[in-house]
Amino acid sequence: MKELVITTNSYDEKDIPDLGNRFLTGNGYMGVRGTLEEYGKQQLAAVNLSGIFDRYGDGWREPLNAPNPFSLQLLVNGKEETLCPDNVKSHEQLLDARRGLHLRTTEYMDGTSMIVERFAHMEQVHLLCMNVVIKTKKDAHVRLNAAIDGDVWDIHGPHYRDMSCKENGDAAMVVGCTNEGDSVAVCAAYHTDAHCERQSMTENRKQITAFQFECKAGDMIAISMTASVFTSQDAQDPLLCAQKFVLESPSYPLLRKSHIQTWASLWDKANVEIEGDAEAERALNYSIYHLLCIAPRHASSLSIPARGLSGQTYKGAIFWDTEMFMLDFYLAVLPDVAKTLLRYRIDTLDGAREKARQYGYEGAFYAWESQEGGYDACSDYNVTDVFTGRPMRTYFRDKQVHITSAVVYGLYKYARWTGDESLWLEGGAEILIEAARFYYSYLVKSLKSDVYELWDVIGPDEYHERVNNNAYTNEMARFAFLQAVEISQWLKAEHSDEFDALNQKLNFEDELILFSQAAEQLKQPTQTDTGIIEQFDGYFKLEDTAVDAVRSRLKDPREYWGGAYGVASDSQIIKQADVITMLFMLRDQYDANIVRANYDYYLPRTEHGSSLSACMYALSACMIGRPNDAYPLFLKSAQADLVSGGKQWAGLVYIGGTHPAAAGGAYMTMLWGFLGFDYSRDAWSVAPKLPKGWKEISCKIMWHGKPMKLSSKTTKG
């Protein structure tokens, strides 16, 4: 297996947000931004926690950043060693993605160097580990201030109303209490064999442990740190647990060894080899690294935010990204994680029911931005007008009803891929009934027509709001109706007791015929003689222009293109793949001629304003036998977090972070597109469509509970 190492020599201020994402480490419980140890909240340093949220005042509710135990300050002869060109002789930051290790090496002008290795333990997910090595070329007084920094970065905070800092002799401790009454405890223990003076102090929400050394020329000092993070969601007394956990942990070398072994085991399952294209292989495996970093392997019911664990962007909420773009990787590599992600949707069904009730609908309307319990964190004003500074009304929360079908589709994929039908019995079948009820209550029908329609929706293309009969939304709703009927019939035939119990609870059996009728009578997408599917009613009547022409109309590059007054709203220019996404997700229903016509039509009209877009076009290009056209779109997805240029700010608000949906889309393109994997209930096949220069793709997957090795040189099984 080839090494996968990412490096940079930059410590330039303008690069800090990008590098924080690119050098991220994580273990599913928490993600540590790849900022350097000198940095604090001004440089967006963060230890981002999964599944715990807080709201401050009228701000957006968002996930918590824990107090940061990776905070260091180095002083030599009383002078602070700073990261500035006048003080740095050489510097390198490195991510060893095969081992999940973050390293930095900096040599200062006075000859002192500092080497720091750190990681979020991949198996012991509450642990953060760090080893610091300081070398001196001259006799010097060296002081290292190692801190747990409780003055954390927040986008819409502060989220800690109280912060207590102390040391008990064996460990430093910081405990924060949130506005909603949760507690987050961080405990750190340090070890060094070097003779030193050690003292403890509290300063500006920091618990500092200072080490002072009298060094001779050529001396090398090593200090290791083990920290643990617990919240009140993990334990009744998180501080006691954190302290006990860190003090009973093995030594740094042993923790490092077990961490690397866990990563090796994961890579044995997840690695992809691409013979003939080292750049593509590196980019794809780097994408896989990020998907492994955020997989909640420690939980039985937890999902993944749209920006992974890279910060508080998008409120740390769960979008349709998880089921539609990330799930395929976990199904193929870590099916237990896929089950965990879907159990989150089962456990938040009551929240989806409540949202439907609030809007006057029946069944379950899943949150567009889901936090714990299915609470919808999506604001009515998600965009700010750059000219007036006023919030703009958006309708993502209200009208993106296709989110419920994404949950249905995720359950369908899980059962079909794994052969494990247990989720239907654990609450999945109940989701199908409630999803069908929701769409049925959303339908409209003219008194003079037998055709059902879905009005006033937003499809995946968010630039056009409140449209009628969006093709993607209609077809995915039809899919939800059919799944509700099919799985109910299966349940009645194979698990009659469970069917009777569910029917007694929901009283739905008589509704199945209504769902069948709705699927049959729901309006079909309008299609031209050449097979082009109209994205929504009236789309073809909009101005037919070019992306660059619309871009030229911007008066400010930060303008939102959609909504009531956006530059794209009255044109055929779309944000991201919409009809094309439908054609891939429901690919069994469309022949290559239809895909080809729509690919050629919609690609030049797509701005790709979302990282979810490129992979759908790449997959469609493979479906019509154009792998060379798919290749740059595949790279755009695979390199989303590897290259600079992504949008990091909206006005003064940070919107950057990692792009796990793009990473998942890159994996999907490799598997379904270039490798051409496909399957029925009891057989699989491979129909490779390799880009120019590629000689072979090979990977391992789990299919129906069995490990398999796939290769583009193997055609069926």
List active site positions: 462
Report which of 109, 120, 528, 589 is spatially closest to residue 309, judged by C-alpha positions: 120
CA distance 297 to 119: 17
Q: What is the C-alpha separation between 605 and 310, in angstroms, rounded?
A: 31
Sign (positive or negative) of CA dihedral 323, 326, 330, 331? positive
Distance, CA of 186 to CA of 231 (rounded, Å):
9
638 vs 631: CA distance, rounded Å? 10
3-state class (DSSP) for residue 21 = helix
> Which residues have C-beta within 8 Å of that of residue 392, sequence separation ≥ 6?
381, 382, 383, 384, 385, 560, 563
Element (H, E) at 325: none
Strand partners, 189: 226
- 198 CB-side CA count, 13 A: 17
Q: Are 371 and 352 in contact, with CB atoms under 8 Å apart?
A: no
Spatial distance between the Cα atoms of 704 and 707, rounded to a whole number of angstroms? 9
For the chain, how many residues are written? Answer: 717
Residue type, 460: P
- Amino acid making up residue 399: K
Cβ neighbours for 596, distance < 8 A, ≥ 6 positions apart: 531, 624
Chain position carrying tokens 């002008």: 109
487 with 414: CB under 8 angstroms?
Answer: no
- Please give the Cα distance from 657 to 312 (Å, whole number): 9
H-state helical runs in 296-374: 321, 327-333, 335-347, 349-359
**Nearest of 129, 179, 150, 184 to residue 41 by alpha carbon:** 150
Q: Which residues on adjacent β-strands are paired with residue 118?
A: 102, 130
Contacts of 224 (CB under 8 A, 6+ apart): 129, 130, 131, 132, 190, 191, 192, 251, 252
Residue 132 pairs in a beta bridge with 116, 223
Amino acid sitting at position 404: T
Neighbours of 198 (CB within 10 A): 10
- What CA–CA distance (Å, rounded) separates 225 from 69? 9
447 neighbors 453 (Cβ within 8 angstroms): no
Phi first, then psi: give them for residue 232, nearest 5 degrees. -70, -10
Place of tokens 């002081």: 143
Q: Residue 221 and residue 284: Cα distance in Å, rounded?
A: 38
Q: What is the DSSP letter of 220?
A: E
Coil vs helix vs strand at 419: coil
Burial of 179 (0-12, 13-18, 19+ CB in 10 A): middle
Integer-rounded Cα Rg, in Å, for the chain is 26
User: Among residues 123, 8, 46, 125, which one has the least CA distance to residue 307?
Assistant: 46
CA 581 to each of CA 324, 525, 602, 612, 620: distance values in angstroms, whole numbers, following the listed order = 10, 14, 11, 10, 8
> Residue 176, Cα to own-chain centre: how many angstroms?
26
Which of 252, 569, 263 has its CA nearest to residue 392?
569
